[in-house]
Structure 1
């Protein structure tokens, strides 16, 4: 009987090999009459047995999210630049570099859906990042000035009035003592931060005005450019003043109203010219991602340029040799004051014509601690389940899930309860689809296409608090681990539905394809004809 089944499978070309787990895929193929040719790794490439899980869910569908693929008549295509770079770094570089070419494929500006990103191992891009950090600090100085001008003026006036009257009034002396007590660190030592000079605002404003002129193609006199040029030491001093404002709550006294008005006017223009003006916040936080690591390993946040450059020049960085730095989203949408991201699956079944399928079910991953920018603990900022499972949930709203996951249906219900019943269908989901399509556009010519092949990807998104989706990364061979009740159900279903699309649909175009929907189907791109030199 077994021999007959095997011979039939050979004749019908239904032999498959799976490297890794993927019990769901194995069962789906066997139900369809496929026979497995078992993969046997050599001692060199054998992997350690999966660690025992303390939970009740099986992890058979997730042996290793870095290398596992499904290999049968359907093979996994490889994106060469990503494969050569390897790991998370390769995926990030694919987005970081290739999206800069999006203008040749689509009118969409990548800065409207992908936080800006630089390769720190490339000297030219490292200097571009330094310029970006400095300019962002200048913008943030203007934001801080406009937001705090009135309170600074009031505070400065109160201090001056109390100091003047304290010379002849015992009660005023007591008022001054009360103010000093409020500005201590608990050890009765004054905690008053030094004032930042008006010069800091003038220099920051000048840099912003020069940027605006360049963006608006306004001819800038060379003398004016030279006048606005800052030396390295001047930039260091300006950053020092900026750190005092953002980290030490320093104030700027005697700010002319006209200067504040100029700052406000420049910010209005910058908001139009800078697509990421909103997500930038005021703290200049950047997230550093090391090469060849996944599942959130080695990812850290920084808000001082000097610390970032120190890391890049360290022995650790030289060993890693590959670091990508990306602008941190400082104004994320929070649910009960906790950060989350969204895992969105999509399937590529052909690269020419580019054919993509989007999975209509996705899930949210929450951080275990409440959000703050005053601390950079991974439990606060990294939503990966591989990270969060190592932490106990902190003091949080009881409405948040104990396992730190929601289905997107639960998220939709949350939005409906806040009078936003249509925002998922009208803004969030279409925005995620558009970002993914653009990312595939710029990768299409870099792929070695193989007919009869496919690849399932997992894209991670965050939302800013205006509900705009931002692509963080795209994972090749995403983890399908049944780590919670949510992923236990969804990961099994997406694998089953993937088989429906790539196998069943070959024989019946109207077959059930589960929760997949066609997301994009391109017209065939013809290769240019060979031109002889003779």
Structure 2
């Protein structure tokens, strides 16, 4: 073992294994020293011994290994464990299956590439257009006259011209690829659109509280267009109206340098500034889920473990015990601070819980999946966990790994486990956010301590015990994919 992992070492010793003190992966020197687990004394054998089971923190070149050595590592996994890799991989999903990645992965772009940057700009404008149509419907569904206010609380009498709606129709029409001979389409075709001006008007309406002239006369048309868009855009419901995107360094982890942004120029300027500096970064940007499932008005995500024991045939084990991570602050789309929108433990552990949080939220910001199921039963959604959330997470992981099956370097007798992060829409459908290599099992809480301990033991059941007994107990691991 190249680093201490007590749960693994204890599990191996219970199975009769002994740990080689030298960290060499081959036989090494003629004398080989072991630590006797019973007496905790060092035993030296007068001959070289090649380790059969190797547990590493990062990885090893396959060429250094013998075929029968068991290793907790697969090479070339950046295709799904890095933010950039996952972004690229899921754009290729249609090459392997008829599943659309947009049904389980919020759309994502690599801003380092010229093409990716342009696709993002186009998407930002299309999202702004759809948001205007949503605003028109929402604004005119109010049953009583409500005084509009700006974000600083001052009464707003500002309005933008109706051409803002017509420009939104024009963008949506281009996205749909439709041509309908009605009066509004003719107006759109004849209109000379200034897209920068449209974007600024969008900001004034959505972010600053401005009204749109004569919006009531366009409600039916907005409903019709959005209905057509919903048929081809599965993320319409989670998009919201504020055009919030989450900007991520492509190859960092633990929430480092991640930020939420909602203005196009700010995003592009930030990316270009860092690319011109001495520490050039590669950035990806992903649509933020503006209408997530909340618990007591607080954002959360789920850390879901899974194990891969082979890539050819693809063999995936899903861990049926997960845990929920909460933000320390109430959900608020008008404040883009990381403390509200990122549930990473590496960020939240330094923060103080907001005093106005719901009293039933956990002080340590972690729930077990059993506690989550109790909450769902309480709100009348007891079916959601087993019928929607769990099956959806399994499918998302299966499709993701199928898309990179030809990229990962295969090796018999290798295995590894990963931690996927999921959020959920208001309809309980899961959305994959990212997949983590070497998920953090350090500093467990009172909730996660038992989960981590059992996880490591169950990994050994699958990886070692099944070699001699295919029908053995595999703990909380469920086999969800084993290609013939």
TM-score between the two structures when normalised by the length of structure 2:
0.85
Shift of 1:153: 9.7
Distance 1:300 1:230, change over 3 A: farther
CA contact (8 A) 1:76 1:455 kept: yes
CA contact (8 A) 1:20 1:68 kept: no
Structure 2 partner of 1:402: 363
Structure 1 partner of 2:174: 210
- CA deviation map 1:426-484 (0-9, x unaligned): 11000000000000001110011110110101111000111110000011111112431
**2:133 & 2:423 partners in 1: Cα distance?**
26
Structure 2 partner of 1:304: 263
CA contact (8 A) 1:146 1:260 kept: yes
The number of residue pairs the alignment matches comes to 442
Distance 1:213 1:77, change over 3 A: same
**1:73 & 1:363 partners in 2: Cα distance?**
33
Map residues 399-478 of structure 1 onto 2, 5 A cutoff: 399-478=360-439
**1:103 & 1:154 partners in 2: Cα distance?**
48
**2:70 & 2:190 partners in 1: Cα distance?**
59
Instruction: Report the structure number with the largest CA radius of gyration.
Output: 1
Structure 1 partner of 2:101: 110
Task: Tell me whether 1:139 sits opposite 2:100 in the alignment.
Answer: no
**1:30 & 1:348 partners in 2: Cα distance?**
23
Structure 1 counterpart of 2:74, from 60, 64, 78: 78
Shift of 1:126: 0.4
Structure 1 partner of 2:234: 275
Task: Tell me whether 1:261 sits opposite 2:220 in the alignment.
Answer: yes
Residue aligned with 1:446, SS: coil
Map residues 2-81 of structure 1 onto 2, 5 A cutoff: 18-38=1-21, 67-68=57-58, 73-80=69-76
Shift of 1:39: 5.7
Structure 1 partner of 2:84: 93
CA contact (8 A) 1:311 1:317 kept: no
Residue aligned with 2:246, SS: strand
Structure 2 partner of 1:171: none
CA contact (8 A) 1:79 1:446 kept: no
- CA deviation map 1:291-342 (0-9, x unaligned): 3321111110001001001101104674233001000000011100110000
Distance 1:198 1:274, change over 3 A: same
Shift of 1:79: 4.5
Structure 2 counterpart of 1:337, from 273, 278, 297: 297
Q: Which has the higher contact order (CA 8 A, sep 6+)?
A: 1
| RMSD after superposition | 2.8
CA contact (8 A) 2:421 2:435 kept: yes
Map residues 288-303 of structure 1 onto 2, 5 A cutoff: 288-303=247-262
Residue aligned with 1:311, SS: helix
- CA deviation map 1:185-236 (0-9, x unaligned): 68xxx6525211101101111211222225xx999xxx989947976xx111
Structure 1 counterpart of 2:341, from 354, 376, 381: 381
Structure 2 unaligned regions, length at least 5: 25-55
**2:157 & 2:59 partners in 1: Cα distance?**
56
**1:467 & 1:398 partners in 2: Cα distance?**
23
Distance 1:464 1:197, change over 3 A: same
Specify which structure has the higher proportion of helix. Answer: 1
**1:292 & 1:73 partners in 2: Cα distance?**
30
Structure 1 partner of 2:211: 251
Task: Tell me whether 1:123 sits opposite 2:119 in the alignment.
Answer: no
Structure 2 partner of 1:500: 461
Structure 1 unaligned regions, length at least 5: 1-17, 42-65, 156-178, 524-534
Distance 1:153 1:242, change over 3 A: farther
CA contact (8 A) 1:19 1:68 kept: no
Residue aligned with 1:445, SS: coil
- CA deviation map 1:499-532 (0-9, x unaligned): 1100011011121211111111112xxxxxxxxx
Residue aligned with 2:358, SS: coil
TM-score between the two structures when normalised by the length of structure 1:
0.77
Shift of 1:381: 0.7
